Amino acid sequence: MKSRDKKKNGNDIKKRVVKVIFFPVSLLVYVVKTVREKAEYSIRLKLSLRHINILVKAMVGAGLCVILVFGGITILETVQEDYHALFDIINKDKLDFSEIKAYSEQKDIPVEIYDLNNNLIFAAKPVNSYGYHHIAGIVWSENNLFLGINRGAVISGENVQIMIYSDIREDWKEIIKISEIILIVNSIFLLLSVLSTAFSGRKIFQPIKEMTQTVKEVSEKNLNLRINVSGSKNELKELALTFNEMMNRIEDQYKRQRQFVSDASHELRTPIAVIQGYTVMLDRWGKNDQEVLQESIDAIKNEAEGMNELIDKLLFLARHDNSTFVFEKEEFSLSEMLSDIIKETQIIDTTHTIKGSINQEVSLFADKNRMKQAIRILIDNALKYTPADGEITIALEKENNRITIGIKDTGIGMSQEELGHIFDRFYRSDKSRTKEKGGHGLGLAIAKIIILGHNGKIKVRSKVGEGSEFLIILEVPN
């Protein structure tokens, strides 16, 4: 039992030692893994890493350029100096080996001469114990660093290569020194850049953070929340503004939806109350009273019809709002349809003078039933808001590719203020509200949806007490 414990303990210690030894490696792996994972979804980190990457490349590039240019210039100067020092001696027609040797030793510039087979034929202060052949380049020899350059010459009619070795140890030391300075300066600069990138990144991405927070907080109850855009002046401000505009639209739509539901319930409440009232009356007195019975039946029938009509309108609007409504378009004769509507209206309504001026054949590609519905709404309004004996004129015109349907009445007309609202849902002017025939205020809203859905326009001209004219304008291909 005890020996088993000892073995277990020993294994634990071994594991711990291995862990301690490999701690730096595992730390590095952990850091790299975390940064990689974060970089996958963090735009901020990705941009920062890219920024640092470019910065490092620029620094290395600039550093190398400086080192190369500086190193090149210093080495070139040394080599040139040595070459010029020997120029007169090695440029003679007849080379004097002893003169070269004396000069080489005096100036401390090694010189070697090779024949064309790379055989050393002369050496003053040789630098290359390994039989260096005549190719220009850097030569490391013991503790020395030389740069050899070669030059062709002719000795007693034979071509040779003269190698002149310049001692570039001091130059090299200076290059190292400059490199160290560049490395230190660049490292400090890089560190500062990393810090400033981290801070500026936080500032730049602040609107996104705010946006996320705002979006998280937005709910049905606080649709009025908006992002603070003061201060920022970049693309993110545009994003924040767009977000705020979107919130405006959503809030507006939500309010309108709520208003719609409340108006619709309100409209339905009246007929239901009337029906309830009559049923109570029937229950109490109507069972045996023929008069009450008939009145109640008529009233309930009337209200039910009204409700049916209202529900149809509400359904139309709801389908339109949910974008589940589609127009079923077909080619048909608009002139024929209008003539039929005029005839029907003349039969139904005998209190007004209804005139029709359909003088040309006009065909249209549209949703026939919906078009009829829109025109009917305008004619019904003209009838509703024109006193008896008034005149209603229905006209159709086609000029080039523009069709105009006009419905003109000599009715009560509308003020400028009213005209601004007549296409709003559930809007009724005070006059029509009190009027017995007044509708639910949905007709024109529906007519507008139908006409706009056919890329058309509705225009109104009206004067209080004089009458109104509604124009439906449709563009058709030639």
The residues binding ligand ADP (CB under 6 A) are 377, 381-382, 384-385, 409, 411-414, 422, 427-429, 432, 438-445, 468
CA atoms within 13 A on the CB side of 450: 24
Nearer to ligand ADP, 413 or 456 (CB): 413
Q: Which is nearer to ligand ADP, 125 or 384 (CB)?
A: 384
- Which strands make up the sheet holding 457-463, listed edge to edge? 353-358, 391-399, 402-409, 467-475, 457-463
Helix count and strand count (H, E) for the chain:
13, 12
Cβ–Cβ < 8 Å for 432, 422:
no
Nearer to ligand ADP (CB atom), residue 163 or residue 414: 414
> What's the distance, CA 468 to chain centroid?
47
179: left (phi over 0), alpha (psi -120 to 50) or beta: alpha
Rounded CA separation 164/142 (Å): 18
Instruction: Pick the closer one to ligand ADP by CB: 207 or 413.
Output: 413
CB of 331 to ligand ADP, least distance (A): 29
If the CB atoms of residues 97 and 426 are measured against ligand ADP, the closer one turns out to be 426
Minimum CB distance to ligand ADP, residue 443 (Å): 3
Write 206-215 long-range contacts (CB < 8 A, 24+): 206/232, 207/232, 207/236, 207/237, 207/239, 207/240, 208/236, 208/239, 210/240, 211/239, 211/240, 211/243, 214/243
Contact 382, 467 (CB under 8 A): no
Distance, CA of 330 to CA of 76 (rounded, Å): 90
* Nearest-approach distance from CB 413 to ligand ADP, in angstroms: 6
Q: Quick one: 205 or 423, whose CB is closer to ligand ADP? A: 423
User: Measured from the CB atom, is 56 or 452 closer to ligand ADP?
Assistant: 452
Residue number with CB closer to ligand ADP (207 or 456)? 456
Comparing every residue's Cβ against ligand ADP, the nearest one is 439
- Minimum gap (Å) between residue 369 Cβ and ligand ADP: 18
Between 25 and 348, whose beta carbon lies closer to ligand ADP? 348
Burial (CB < 10 A; 0-12, 13-18, 19+), residue 157, is exposed
Q: Which residues contact 401 (CB under 8 A, 6 or more apart)?
A: 475, 476, 477, 478
Is 189 in a helix, a strand, or coil? Answer: helix
Q: Are 411 and 387 in contact (CB under 8 A)?
A: yes
Smallest distance from ligand ADP to CB 397, Å: 20
Q: Smallest distance from the beta carbon of 392 to ligand ADP, in angstroms? A: 9
Query: Sign (positive/negative) of CA torsion 217, 219, 224, 229?
Result: positive
The CB-of-471 to ligand ADP minimum distance in angstroms stands at 12
Name the residue type at position 398.
K
